[in-house]
Structure 1
C-alpha cells in the first residue's frame, strides 16, 4: 500500500482546500516546516481520516481528551461557519501493488454553539463508491474495510512522533503496543479467533444452565476471562519483580563486599555497627514475611472490628439459622417435588398457598440471620469457619502485639542505619553506604510487592477453580449427546490447540525478529559494534541487549532519550521488515534528540531502508549540515513539500519546491 495524497479542508491552520502529494519515484517524501507551522496537524489528519474519533483518542492517549471539543477548536479560524455549522474534512488517496486505487473521505459538521459533531465517511475503490449489501450500514462497512487495511493499533505504530521513542520502555511494553505488533506479524487473527470461540463458549454454557441462572452465570464467565487475562499480567509482573529482586540482591552483596574491603581498617565502631546492621536486616526480613502473612489473613478481621470469638456478632446464632435455612430449603424442594407427583393433585389454590407459606417461613429464617452473616450459604459458612480456625483468629491480640513490636523494630533500624551512615561518612564511605541503603530499601519494597502479588494470584486462581467446578457440574448434568455438550467439548478442544499454535508461531518469529532488530540497530547506533547478543521475548516482545563493557541487560540501565529512541526505531524496523503486508511509515521530527553523527546514520542508512514509503515531517534542523543534499543525491526523494505561513493571513500554504534552501541556508 502507498499513500498517494492527503487532502484537508478547514483543518486547523489549513483554511480552505489543500492537497499534499505524497508519492513519487523515490521512497522518501519530505514535508518541511518550521516549528508550529503544521507538521503535527499533518499527523493528526492521517489519524482523523483513517479512524475518526477512535483514531484521535488512540493518538492522544489521554483519558481527559474530549474529541468534540478538540474538533471544534480544530475548525479553522479563517473559515466561515454556514448556518451555524463548521465543516472540517480530511481525505486520503491510496494505491496497492495490484494497481487498485482507493480513496477515503471523512467529513465532520460541527454545531458551533453546542459543539456537537456529526460525521460522514465514504470510500471509493477504483473511482467507484463502495457497494453495500442490503441491511449494511455504510459507516460500519467502510470502517471495517479501512481496519482490514490498517488497524488503529498499526496506525499508532507506523504514524508516529519521533519524540515518543525517547520515552519508550522496552522492558514494559503497553498492551496497545503489543496488540499492534501482533496485528503486524499475523498474530491478530489468532487473537480474534480465540476471542470468538470464548464468546461462543460463554453462550453455550449459559444456554445449558437453568433460565434463572443464565444471566449471573454469563457475568461470572465474563469475569473469569477478564481475571484470566489479569492473572497472566500478574504472573508476568511477578516474574519481572523476581528478576529485579535477584539482580538487586546480587548488587547488595557486591556493595557489602566493597564496604567491607574499604573498611577493613575502620576500627571497632564501624565494624560493630556493620555487624548490628546485618543482624537487624536479617531480623527485618523475617518480620516482613510474618507481617505480610498477617496483612493478607488476620488483619482484615482486625480492621473490620471482628473479635476472635466473634460472640459480639452472634456467630453461634448465625450458624444455627444458616443450617436451618439450608434444611428448610431442602424441605421446600421436597414439598414441591411431592406436590408435583401427588395423585390426586391438590387444587392450584391449595398448592399455591402451601408453597407460599413454605417460602414465607424460609424468608423469616433468612431475616432472623444476623446481618453480618446473611450473605453466607451453608457451603460458604463451612469455608468461613475453616478459614477462621486455620488463621487462628482467637489469637488476634498477639497480632496487635506483633505489629507494635515490629514498629519499634523499624524505628530501631532507622536509627541504626543513620548511625552507620554517619560513621561511614567519617570514614569516607558515604557513597557506598548510601547506595547500599537505597538498594536495601528497594529490596524491601520488592519483597512486599511480590508477597502481595502472590496473594492476588492465589485469590484469582481460587475464583477460577470455583467457576470451573460450576461449569463441570453443568456439563455433568447435561447429556453427552446434546448439541450444547458436543459444541462445548469441541470448543474446549480447539482453544488449547489454538493457544499452542500461537505460542509456536511466536517462537518461530523470535529469531528473524532479533536479526532484523540487530540490522536496524546497526544502522542507528555506534554502540552496535559492541553487541554481544540481542534476544527478543516472543511472548512479550521485550528486548535484552548484551553489550561489551556492560553487565546484564543494557536496556536496564538509565538510558538516555536518544538511546531509547534507537531501540524503539530498531523495533519499528524489525516490525516493518517482518510485516505480512507493505505499510507506509510517517514520522514527525525523525531525528529528534539525535546528535549530528546519529542524524547522519539515520538519514543516510536507516530511513531510506525503513519502508517502501517513508514520509518525514522535518524541521530545518532534521536534515541540516549537508544531510538534505546527501539524501537528494541518493535518488531516494519522492516528493519535496514546504509548509509556510501565508504573508497575508495566518493560514498555511502548501508549496511543492526544492528544499535545499530551507535546509542548507538555515543550517
Structure 2
C-alpha cells in the first residue's frame, strides 16, 4: 500500500485547497522512501496525521483532538475558522495497493459542512483507472470492512504514530493501552476473547433450559419483563424519531408562517402605532426647523439676496476711509516738513542742500495728494462706527447663511425619513389580515412548543427505560449455579469449562509463539539502531502486560532506568518497528515529531538507519530542531528523500500554507 496524494480543503489550520504529493517516485522515476514535511510546533503537523486517519476510518478514527466529542461536534471543530458558511470542508486521500496481482488506485473523499446534518460526513470512493475517476458506490457501502483488510484500525497505530506515543512508550514500564490494543489485534487475541464470551452466553442459555419450575418461572418472568421493556424502548425510540421528524417539519412551517408574516406586512402592522408616532415626531421636528428658518428670514438673511451690493459698499467704505487718512496725514506731513526745514536752516548745511531737501519734501507730499485726487469723490460718507457695523453685519450674514444651509439639509433628511415611514405604514397589513397572520404564526409557534415538549418527554422516558432494562439484565445475571438446579446440563457445563481452559492454554501458546518472533525482531531492530552493540543480548516481552525486559550477555537483567533518555526512545521505536515487521503488512509509515530527546549519535543512527528502512514509504513530520540542517543534508546525500514540504504557519491569520520543494534549509 502506498499513499499517493493528500488534499485538504478548509480543514483545521489549512484554509482553501492544499495539495500534498506523497508519491515516493520522483521525476527521474526513482523511488525514494522518505516524504519530509517540516513545520514548527502548532503549525499543522498533527492535523495532517489526523486527516489521514479521518480519511481512512471516518467515525472510527482515533484523532488527536477528538477526545470525548461526538463525531458531528468533532467534524465541526475541524472546519477552518475562515471558511465561508456555504463552503464545505473536504479531505481526499489517494492510495495504491495490489489487488489480484494488479495495482489499483482509489481516492477517498470525505466532505462535510459546519454542524453537519445527522452528525456525519459524506463518503465517496473514486476508482482511478487510466487517469479517469468513477464513483464506486458498492465499495462505499462496505468501506469499513474493506479498509480493515488493508490497514486494520487495531494495528494502524503501529504505522501512524507520533513522538508523544514514542515518548509515552519509552517512559512507561508497560506499553500504553493504545499499543496494547494494537498488539492484541496483531496477535489475533481478540478472537479468543470473543470465543470465551460466546461460551459464557451458551452456558447461560443451557442453565435456563434446565432450570427447575420455580427458578424457570422467575427467569421467564424476568425475561418476559425485559422483553416488554425492550419492546417499549423500541416503540419509544421510534416515536422519538417520528417526533424528531415532525418537529423538523413544524419548525419549517413556523419559519414559513414567520416569513409570510413579515412579507405580507404583519410585522409592520404590529409596529404601526410606533411608526405613526415616529412619523409625527419627525413632522414636529421638521416644523421646528422651519420655524427657525422663519426667524433667520426675519433677521439679516434677506440681505443674502444682494451680496454684490454689500461687498461694493464695504469696498467703498474702505476706500473713503483711506482717503480721509491721506488728507489728515498731508496736513501732518506739511507741519513736520516746516519744522524740519526750520531746523535745517539753523545747522551748518549748505543752502543748496536745504533747497534740494525742501524740493523733495514738497514733491513727496504732492505725489501723495495726487494719488488721493485720482480716487473718485466720496459719496458714502460713512463714519468709522458705521463701517464697523457693516463688517459685523456681513459676518453675521455669513453665519446665518451657513445655519440656513444646515437647516435645509436637516429638513431634507427628515422629509425623506417621513416618506420612508409613510411607505412602511402603507405596506402594513389591514387589521383583519394582520389578525389572520398573527394567529397563523402563533398557532405554528404553539405547535412547535408542544412538539418539543412531547420530544423531551419521550427522551426522558427512553432514559428511564435504559435504567430499567439495565436493572432487569442485572437480575438475570444474578442467577448463578447456586440459584438454578441443573438436571441434565452437567455435561454441557463441564465441557464448556474444559473448552474455556483449553482456550486459555491456546491463547497463552499463541501469545508465546508470536512473542518469540516479536522479541527477536525488537532486539534486532534495537541493536541496529543502537551504537552500543554490547548493551543488550536478549529482550523478553511479558505475556500479560507486554512490558519489555532487557538482559545482558551474562543473562542478568538490564534495568530500564539505566538506559539514557535517547536509548529509551530508540527502544520504543525498535518495539514499534518490530511490531510492524511481525504484522506482515506492507504499509506506509507516518511519524510525527520523531526525534525527541536523542543525542547526536542516536539521532544520526535513526536518520541513517531507521528512516530509510522503516518502510517503502516513510512520511516524516518534523520541527527544525529534530531533523535539522545536518540530518536533512545526510538524507539528501543518501538519496532517501523523494519530496520536501514546508508547513508555513502565519501567526497573524492563524493559517498554514503548504510550500512545495521547500524545507527549513
With the shorter chain as reference, the TM-score category is 0.5 to 0.7
Q: Give the superposition deviation at 1:46.
A: 1.7
Q: Give the superposition deviation at 1:563.
A: 3.6
RMSD: 3.9
Q: Specify the alignment match of 1:519 in structure 2.
A: 524
Q: How far, CA to CA, are the matches of 2:616 and 2:203 in structure 1? A: 43
Q: Specify the alignment match of 2:511 in structure 1.
A: 506
Give the greater-gyration-radius structure (CA): 2
Q: How far, CA to CA, are the matches of 1:531 and 1:170 in structure 2? A: 19
In structure 2, the residue corresponding to 1:531 is in which secondary structure? coil
Q: How far, CA to CA, are the matches of 2:223 and 2:547 in structure 1? A: 37
Q: Specify the alignment match of 2:173 in structure 1.
A: 171
Q: Deviations over 1:121-142 (max 9, x none)?
A: 2334555544549xxxx66x32
Q: Give the superposition deviation at 1:95.
A: 1.7
Q: Specify the alignment match of 1:13 in structure 2.
A: 13
Q: Specify the alignment match of 2:657 in structure 1.
A: 653
Aligned pairs (5 A) from 1:284-323: none
Q: Specify the alignment match of 1:360 in structure 2.
A: none
> Alpha carbons of 1:470 and 1:121: their partners in 2 closer, same or farther (altered >3 Å)?
farther
Q: Deviations over 1:152-200 (max 9, x none)?
A: 3322332111132222255333443222112224444444455555555
Q: Specify the alignment match of 1:50 in structure 2.
A: 56
Q: Specify the alignment match of 1:610 in structure 2.
A: 614
Residues 525 and 574 in structure 2, CA contact (< 8 A), matched pair in contact too: yes
Structure 2: runs of 5+ lacking an equivalent? 25-30, 227-476
Aligned pairs (5 A) from 1:235-254: none
> Alpha carbons of 1:585 and 1:190: their partners in 2 closer, same or farther (altered >3 Å)?
farther
In structure 1, the residue corresponding to 2:10 is in which secondary structure? strand
Q: How far, CA to CA, are the matches of 2:519 and 2:490 in structure 1? A: 51
> Alpha carbons of 1:119 and 1:61: their partners in 2 closer, same or farther (altered >3 Å)?
closer
Q: Give the superposition deviation at 1:511.
A: 2.4
Residues 14 and 76 in structure 1, CA contact (< 8 A), matched pair in contact too: yes
Q: Specify the alignment match of 1:213 in structure 2.
A: 219
Q: Give the superposition deviation at 1:616.
A: 0.7
Q: How far, CA to CA, are the matches of 1:216 and 1:489 in structure 2? A: 26
Q: What is the aligned counterpart of 1:467 among 475, 480, 485? A: 480
Q: Give the superposition deviation at 1:71.
A: 3.5
Match status 1:107 vs 2:111: yes
> Alpha carbons of 1:172 and 1:626: their partners in 2 closer, same or farther (altered >3 Å)?
closer
Q: Give the superposition deviation at 1:204.
A: 5.5
Q: Specify the alignment match of 1:22 in structure 2.
A: 22
Q: Specify the alignment match of 1:580 in structure 2.
A: 584
Residues 166 and 562 in structure 1, CA contact (< 8 A), matched pair in contact too: no
Q: Specify the alignment match of 2:441 in structure 1.
A: none
Q: How far, CA to CA, are the matches of 1:104 and 1:207 in structure 2? A: 50
Aligned residues: 398
Q: Give the superposition deviation at 1:219.
A: 14
Residues 170 and 568 in structure 1, CA contact (< 8 A), matched pair in contact too: no
In structure 1, the residue corresponding to 2:601 is in which secondary structure? helix
Aligned pairs (5 A) from 1:129-208: 129-132=135-138, 141-168=142-169, 169-199=171-201, 202-203=204-205, 205=207
In structure 1, the residue corresponding to 2:113 is in which secondary structure? strand
Q: How far, CA to CA, are the matches of 1:61 and 1:218 in structure 2? A: 41
> Alpha carbons of 1:187 and 1:78: their partners in 2 closer, same or farther (altered >3 Å)?
same
Residues 110 and 117 in structure 1, CA contact (< 8 A), matched pair in contact too: no
Q: How far, CA to CA, are the matches of 1:128 and 1:191 in structure 2? A: 41
In structure 2, the residue corresponding to 1:76 is in which secondary structure? coil
In structure 2, the residue corresponding to 1:102 is in which secondary structure? strand
Q: Give the superposition deviation at 1:606.
A: 1.4
Q: How far, CA to CA, are the matches of 1:121 and 1:184 in structure 2? A: 28
Q: How far, CA to CA, are the matches of 1:188 and 1:639 in structure 2? A: 39
Q: Specify the alignment match of 1:534 in structure 2.
A: 539
> Alpha carbons of 1:525 and 1:214: their partners in 2 closer, same or farther (altered >3 Å)?
farther
Q: How far, CA to CA, are the matches of 1:204 and 1:633 in structure 2? A: 70
Please, what TM-score do these two structures have when normalized by structure 1? 0.53
Q: How far, CA to CA, are the matches of 1:27 and 1:214 in structure 2? A: 64
Q: How far, CA to CA, are the matches of 1:623 and 1:479 in structure 2? A: 66
Q: How far, CA to CA, are the matches of 2:642 and 2:198 in structure 1? A: 43
Q: How far, CA to CA, are the matches of 1:61 and 1:563 in structure 2? A: 32
Q: Deviations over 1:472-526 (max 9, x none)?
A: x44x34598xxxx6xx787666544444333222212232211211122123333
Residues 9 and 88 in structure 1, CA contact (< 8 A), matched pair in contact too: yes
In structure 2, the residue corresponding to 1:615 is in which secondary structure? strand
Please, what TM-score do these two structures have when normalized by structure 2? 0.53
Q: Specify the alignment match of 1:3 in structure 2.
A: 3
Match status 1:623 vs 2:627: yes
Q: Specify the alignment match of 1:38 in structure 2.
A: 44
Q: How far, CA to CA, are the matches of 1:93 and 1:218 in structure 2? A: 52
Residues 47 and 55 in structure 1, CA contact (< 8 A), matched pair in contact too: yes
Q: How far, CA to CA, are the matches of 1:192 and 1:3 in structure 2? A: 33
Q: How far, CA to CA, are the matches of 1:50 and 1:215 in structure 2? A: 47
Q: What is the aligned counterpart of 2:78 among 74, 80, 84? A: 74
Structure 1: runs of 5+ lacking an equivalent? 221-463
Q: Specify the alignment match of 2:455 in structure 1.
A: none
Q: Specify the alignment match of 1:93 in structure 2.
A: 94
Q: Specify the alignment match of 1:640 in structure 2.
A: 644
Q: How far, CA to CA, are the matches of 1:218 and 1:31 in structure 2? A: 61
> Alpha carbons of 1:504 and 1:490: their partners in 2 closer, same or farther (altered >3 Å)?
same
Q: Give the superposition deviation at 1:637.
A: 2.1
Residues 167 and 561 in structure 1, CA contact (< 8 A), matched pair in contact too: no
Residues 186 and 580 in structure 1, CA contact (< 8 A), matched pair in contact too: no
> Alpha carbons of 1:477 and 1:43: their partners in 2 closer, same or farther (altered >3 Å)?
same
In structure 1, the residue corresponding to 2:566 is in which secondary structure? helix
In structure 2, the residue corresponding to 1:96 is in which secondary structure? strand
Q: Specify the alignment match of 1:248 in structure 2.
A: none
In structure 2, the residue corresponding to 1:573 is in which secondary structure? helix
In structure 1, the residue corresponding to 2:480 is in which secondary structure? helix
Q: Give the superposition deviation at 1:604.
A: 0.2
In structure 2, the residue corresponding to 1:123 is in which secondary structure? strand
